[in-house]
Amino acid sequence: MSGISHNKAKMFLEGLHLNDTKNTFEQLKDLVEVLENKTDPDPSEVQLVHNIYAFIEKLNILEHGLKMYATESVNSIGSKLSSLYEELSYSGHIYRD
């Protein structure tokens, strides 16, 4: 089952880099620029900018975690096969030349 979850993580990461998603984040960036350049922003606008930055930070943390999770899947398959091979070779089931 973990292979399925690793694939889902990879699919989400790929989705972050689709043009539609990039456009959405560009619009968010534009909104932040407009709000930050206001001479006298409302408290709700200041809070909105704060929330956007918090969202982006959390999204970056999530993206990093998903990349590590997806990479772990690839690495763990290789290490599991290596471990299995080593266990079998030490127990005499696999003979080396």
CA distance 48 to 31: 10
55, part of any domain: yes
51, part of any domain: yes
CA distance 39 to 41: 6
96, part of any domain: no
Task: Count the domains in the chain.
Answer: 1
**What's the domain range around 43?**
2-90
CA distance 46 to 37: 11
pLDDT tens for the chain, 97 residues: list them. Answer: 467 787 888 888 888 888 898 899 999 999 999 999 999 999 999 999 999 999 999 999 999 998 888 887 666 555 656 665 565 555 554 444 4
CA distance 40 to 84: 65
56, part of any domain: yes
97, part of any domain: no
83, part of any domain: yes
72, part of any domain: yes
Q: What is the pTM of this model?
A: 0.67
